[in-house]
Chains A and B, each alone.
Chain A
Amino acid sequence: MKRLLSGNEAIARAAWEAGAVVGAGYPGTPSTEILEEFAPYPDVYAEWSPNEKVALDVAIGSAIAGRRAFATMKHVGLNVAMDSFWSVSMTGVEAGLVVVSADDPSLHSSQNEQDNRFIARWARVPCLDPADSQDSHDFMVAAFDLSERFDTPVLLRPTTRVCHTSSPVEVGEIRNRRPVPDTYVRNLAKYDMAPANARARRPVIEHRVEALADYAETSPLNRAEMRGTRLGIITSGVAYAYAREVFPDASTLKLGMVYPLPRKLIADFAAQVDTVIVLEELDPFVEDQVRLMGIRLHEPPTPPTYPHTKSIFPLMGELDPAVVRRSAVAAGLLEAPALIGAATTANGSGNGVAGSGIPYAAGGTSPSFRTLPLTPVEVAPRPPVLCPGCPHRSSFYVLHKLGVTVNGDIGCYTLGMAKPLDALHTAGCMGASIAVAHGGAVAGDPGRHVAVIGDSTFFHSGIPALLNVLYNRSNVVTIIMDNRITGMTGHQENPGTGHTLQRQETVEVDIEGVVRSLGFPQDKVRTIKSYDVKALEKQLKTWLKEDGPAVLITQEECALLPTAKATYLPLAVTDACNGCTICFRIGCPAILQSDELDERTQRPLALIDQVMCTGCEICAQVCPRDAILFREQVAHV
């Protein structure tokens, strides 16, 4: 019976069916649910590792020990794990190893739009590119077999639309239980990559991709579907769905394995149709290789200009049927449709996050990003914001007020960049905040640098950078915002939470203890409750006047955790409010402008939404007229 599964659910299911016994990963949209869905299956071990490199090494360790394993991460997570990825490409494995790394076209939740198919090619690792949930399931099962057959890690590369689209999937009902070896293999020539051994392994990985390229010619992962002979589309991933939707009569060569490519299969396909195009999302990964094979592709009226080599479809952003159709029209492949675009006349307002609107074509050969939705009404932008009651809010309010340079990091607190909090100067990638602040300081930038980093990100890659601040003596003040959970990806456990992914109780790593153990002076490490605006401000002011590094840990659990929700108590505004607008500057969605105006100032009075307010009291603390009641006052009203 078919089940309705997201791509992520299908991958987890397939990992279990394929007999994987270890799954390790670090949360990252759109990959997070894979491991969450895998963890409850019987007889499996699943963990959130502190970062992606650790996760991949854990999976490699299992595979060398002869047990099937996989690691999950988002596309940028593979950058963190890259040393391990290359290393295991060189050594190969004893049992199947699959690296699942999810790309994020349109940067729905990411800092870049890198196309990880290139990483597979670069590291001589086969890459599978699923188009939907059924593919995700089938390819994950196939990946374990390929890994063992060719002694290689396999990269499974779903994209956001594949991960988070649900469709019916035929699953297997029986688990493939693998035989396990009695002893741990000791094969230094293969598993100890000292230069002499590595040099000997070097040609092995080239021979391996040659063998894989041969396999690709007849692999069921690649499928030529002959329909009409006028147009042939070479496609992969979710782009296959758009090819079928927009060009129902065209023949398609659906490439499930995008590296290495089946040269003869592609040439034979191209020979059977009048016109050949490549339809793929993001970079011209397949297109460039197909051109290198000497295959003539359809030339659009305006060909791309070097260094861009993608000829028909946009280089950036997610594809969708409208983008594909518009691009095809521009390239002379389709007649212009009468209806599309007719209802869209005025310029819509972007909400500040790429891809959060209706996908509407950029198209053509231009590398420019697609435009946002068009509606005849002026619609207010709605960017994501820190939630009501978010414990990060107070620190950003204070930092903005102090006017210091703030180097940020990746997590919910990246939203501290947005108005009105407007506190961050940089936010690059996981763990960057502390060392980027250090770099600015040692370079001689006269302003003080404050680094902000969340609890999970601190464990991920903040610790070595903090060690560096201390060791190499910069003036950086680091704020570790400990909200007791990995927040942005939807509440995953981490070394500070006291629980594992599989709901086991474990050590609750004490962040202040970790920091102190590095050797910071006694008076330069302090934990303050996150909602205590005055204490935060006082401590930061003191340290910013002094010399030397310091670490402030702000601690309060995420307001969306069930234990926090149980304590919600909405606050209220009194008659003392005169519309001074200061409480609006904390950027809380629960503080609204009421319709009532102050008689004297003619400015709107504050109003607290009784459904959204959690009672965190940040607004009550910043109100200069004591016009917002504290919890205790509300309770007594």
Chain B
Amino acid sequence: MSELPALSALPETLDIALVGVGGQGTILASNVLAELGMAAGYDVKKAEVHGMSQRGGSVVSHVRWGRHVFSPIIPAAGADILVAFEKMEAARYAALLTPAGTAILNDFAIEPITVITGGARYPGDPAIESAFTEPGQRVVWIHGARVAEELGNKFVANVVLLGALSTMLGLPETDWAAVLDRRVKAAHLDINHRAFAAGRAEMSARAAR
């Protein structure tokens, strides 16, 4: 692993909320983020809910870095970054984002059963974006699912999103790679590293536009 950056070179605290649908890999992503923070010298807490909500329900993971993290839950309007693995979930949890925060949205929809059976409507993209009402908030769309599909495995979309997120955190890429090496099964390492790189490229393309 490369030399660890000093805590002072990074923000004092960092709160990241990962939201999505049960089964999308938010737990692996939050594990990576928590380990990364710890390796960078932070105290960390990572909170998620297992069990019933994982059966295709709405899920949220809280990852907090700081000198001393107390609450496992990010307070409302407290998340510096919101990563939505499914786009409607971004709107559901929009109130978690700080007024100056960034929302990274996977351009990917999973229709809930309430929409399939006709009881509810799936909001359009402009409606989803409108959930982020504060003028300082930034919304970035990432084609996580499409990129993962192009790589040949739709299940690495979570790592594409991590790649996109990584461009915002100022930690060397090698630190991320080291955590991925520990957290991902050897057989899937190669595609996960490619997914991570593709996510970084996606984010750079957004920034350049």
Bound Cα distance from A611 to B23, whole angstroms: 13
Stretch with Cβ within 8 A of A (4 or more), from B37-45, B164-172, B198-206:
B37-45
If A343-B95, A359-B73 touch, whether A380 touches B114 (CB-CB below 8 Å) is yes
Instruction: Let me know if A440 is at the binding interface, CB within 8 A.
Output: no
A624 lies within 8 A of chain B by Cβ = no
Within B40-78, which residues are at the interface with A (CB < 8 Å)?
A: 43-60, 69-73, 75-78
> A322 touching B44 by the CB < 8 A rule?
no
B51: chain A residues at CB < 8 Å are 29-30, 108-109, 488-489
A487-530 interface code vs B (CB 8 A; 1 in, 0 out):
01110000000000000000000000000000000000000000
Tally of A-B Cβ pairs under 8 angstroms: 223
Contacts of A351 in B (CB 8 A): 57-58, 92, 112
Interface positions of B from 57 to 108, Cβ below 8 Å from A = 57-60, 69-73, 75-78, 88-89, 91-97, 99
- Is A412 interfacial (CB 8 A cutoff)? yes
Other A-B pairs beyond A164-B49, A377-B130, 11, CB < 8 Å: A4-B38, A109-B52, A166-B31, A340-B75, A349-B120, A355-B49, A382-B92, A385-B55, A385-B56, A488-B52, A488-B55
When distances are taken between beta carbons in the complex, the residues of chain B under 8 Å from A241 are 70-72
User: How many B residues have CB within 8 A of the partner chain?
Assistant: 64
B122 contacts A by Cβ under 8 Å: yes
Residues on B facing A (Cβ under 8 Å): 21-22, 31, 34-35, 38, 43-60, 69-73, 75-78, 88-89, 91-97, 99, 110-123, 127-128, 130-131, 133-134, 154
Give the distance in Å from the alpha carbon of A593 to the alpha carbon of B115 in the complex. Answer: 9
- The answer on a CB contact under 8 Å between B76 and A587 is no
**Chain A residues closer than 8 Å to B44, beta-carbon distance:** 4, 166-168
Residue contact A376 to B133, C-beta cutoff 8 Å: yes
The 8 Å CB contact of B95, one of A108, A360, A587, A592, is: A360
State which of B119, B131, B133 has its C-beta within 8 Å of the C-beta of A419: B119
CB within 8 Å for A29 and B50 given contacts A359-B73, A373-B95, A380-B88: yes
Q: What B residues does A376 contact at CB under 8 A?
A: 94, 130-131, 133
CB interface residues, A 264-316, toward B, < 8 Å: none
Chain A positions 315-344 with a Cβ under 8 Å from a chain B Cβ: 318, 320-322, 325, 339-344
Please give the distance in Å from B43's CB to the nearest CB on chain A: 7
Q: 8 Å CB contacts to B: which residues of A426-483?
A: none
Interface assignment of A192: CB less than 8 Å from any CB of chain B = no
Q: Which residues of A contact B43 (CB under 8 A)?
A: 167-168
Shortest Cβ distance from B62 into A: residue? A165
Contact B73 A373 (CB under 8 A): no
The size bracket of the interface on A is 35 or more
A30 and B50 within 8 A (CB): yes
A387 partner residues in chain B, CB cutoff 8 A: 55-56
* A418 CB within 8 Å of chain B: yes
Bound-state Cα–Cα, A341 to B130, Å: 17
Residues on B with beta carbons closer than 8 Å to the beta carbon of A377:
91, 94, 123, 127-128, 130-131
Q: Is A245's CB under 8 angstroms from B57's CB?
A: no
Chain B residues positioned under 8 Å from A32 (CB to CB) = 50
Q: Which residue of A lies closest to B123 (CB)?
A: A377
Using Cβ atoms and an 8 Å threshold, which residues of chain B touch A611?
Answer: 154
Query: B-facing mask of A162-186, CB < 8 A → 1, else 0?
Result: 0011111000000000000000000
